């Protein structure tokens, strides 16, 4: 990537995750050019929308219907509306440090930019609306059970990033995700996986395949659009058929399923075969191990799931939002600046994931490790 001043960088932001094939992959560009020749928007379904939905259904366990929207925020907002309608309940449970977009009710201890900017609760969100959101602790099933006990028969859904990526990369503990599913089944609530970040990135079938737990509903974005604005929510027919026009739950959008976004998504998913995921896993392992060798034991901690990586400025491990907040953000700032000077473009927050792509090579990763060793010497001095 080249900036306005002509400086070159190896990009680990990747448009915050969508560019799993890298910038301007020839297959994606060709698909976009073909779609562009036909038209940019019709306000009606196209064949490409069906094709991309079929690719999602084929990959993701338990999905029978897919509804396209324009962003991850729309996907989570719409999935929660469906969950509330399906259960007849109003309250939801989310986790501290998990970000699910900027809709009202979800900007509560939301992690990501909200944490970096020091505004975890946004002005403009009605207090009465926020009160319907119960905040539990990631990787702590006891706090979720407390929510159900505090509000019996009132919780519609539990929404979670199966791999937290907005407080840095925080994987689920063994049994955590299945424990959530079991609790939701026991209490008559729905479990929603926000796989906007992990979907089609951490495994061919997303986090649900990687960790062996199926939610009731899924939310997707980023990779599914190959770099264009897109989101989707998906699940079994019995739930998804409650959405209009087949059912009473309203949701619509003129640009939903936009043919350009569908074309980019189809081209991207078709690139992601098992060989691609093996490559991404190996690149991630190489980066993780190299970063850990770049500083004295205990000075930093690196967490990774597939091609998502975070270097924490603490001894770790990081299991929750409270753990993540122990990181030394001043040292991260020094590190980030030193890495920029060495041609490494990283997310400008301690509480974000680095993303690898198929455009990265072992040589580029090794160069990043060398730059990290020099930058860590500055940050940890």
Active site residues: 99, 194, 222
Closest CA to 114 of 166, 181, 178: 166
Closest CA to 296 of 356, 216, 215, 377: 377
Alpha-carbon distances of 307 from 19, 198, 225, 260, 320, rounded to whole Å = 12, 10, 18, 26, 20
The number of residues in the chain equals 381
Closest CA to 109 of 88, 137, 81: 137
Q: Which residues, other chains included, contact 180 with Cβ-Cβ below 8 Å and sequence gap of 6+?
A: 141, 144, 158, 160, 191, 213
Closest CA to 355 of 166, 72, 113: 166
Cα separation, 365 vs 342, in Å, equals 13
Alpha helices in the chain (DSSP H): 26-36, 47-59, 72-87, 112-116, 127-130, 141-150, 176-187, 206-211, 237-240, 259-271, 274-292, 321-324, 329-341, 362-379
In SS3 terms, 2-57 reads as ECCCCCECEECCCCCCCCCCCCCCHHHHHHHHHHHCCCCCCCCCCHHHHHHHHHHH
The values of phi and psi at residue 106, to 5°, are -110, -10
Cα separation, 266 vs 227, in Å, equals 11
Cα three-residue angle 264-359-371, rounded to 5 degrees: 140
Alpha-carbon distances of 285 from 173, 206, 263, 366, rounded to whole Å = 19, 18, 31, 12
């Amino acid at each position: 990537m080249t900036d306005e001043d002509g400086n070159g960088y190896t990009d680990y932001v990747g448009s915050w995750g969508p560019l799993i094939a890298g910038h301007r992959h020839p297959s994606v560009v060709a698909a976009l050019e073909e779609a562009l020749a036909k038209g940019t928007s019709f306000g009606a379904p196209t064949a490409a929308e069906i094709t991309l939905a079929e690719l999602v259904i084929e990959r993701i366990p338990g999905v029978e219907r897919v509804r396209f929207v324009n962003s991850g925020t729309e996907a989570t907002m719409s999935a929660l509306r469906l969950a509330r309608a399906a259960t007849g309940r109003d309250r939801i449970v989310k986790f501290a440090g998990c970000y699910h977009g900027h809709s009202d009710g979800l900007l509560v201890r939301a992690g990501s930019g909200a944490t970096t900017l020091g505004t975890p609760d946004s002005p403009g969100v009605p207090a009465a609306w926020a009160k319907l959101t119960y905040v539990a602790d990631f990787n702590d099933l006891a706090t979720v059970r407390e929510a159900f006990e505090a509000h019996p028969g009132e919780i519609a859904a539990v929404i979670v990033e199966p791999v937290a990526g907005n407080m840095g990369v925080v994987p689920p503990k063994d049994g955590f995700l299945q424990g959530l599913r079991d609790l939701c089944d026991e209490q008559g609530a729905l479990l929603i996986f926000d796989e906007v970040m992990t979907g089609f990135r951490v495994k061919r079938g997303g986090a649900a395949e990687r960790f062996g737990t199926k939610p009731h509903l899924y939310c997707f974005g980023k990779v599914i659009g190959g770099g264009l604005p897109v989101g989707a929510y998906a699940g079994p027919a019995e739930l998804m058929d409650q959405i209009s026009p087949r059912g009473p739950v309203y949701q619509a959008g003129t640009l939903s399923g936009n043919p350009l976004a569908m074309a980019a998504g189809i081209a991207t998913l078709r690139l992601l075969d098992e060989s691609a995921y093996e490559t991404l896993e190996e690149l991630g392992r190489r980066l993780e191990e190299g970063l850990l060798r770049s500083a004295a034991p205990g000075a930093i901690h690196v967490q990774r799931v597939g091609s998502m990586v975070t270097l924490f400025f603490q001894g770790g491990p990081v299991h929750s939002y409270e753990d993540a907040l122990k990181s030394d953000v001043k040292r991260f700032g020094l590190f980030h600046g030193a890495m920029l000077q060495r041609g490494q473009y990283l997310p400008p927050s301690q509480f974000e994931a680095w993303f690898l792509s198929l455009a990265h090579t072992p040589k580029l990763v090794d160069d990043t490790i060398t730059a990290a060793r020099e930058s860590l010497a500055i940050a940890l001095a």
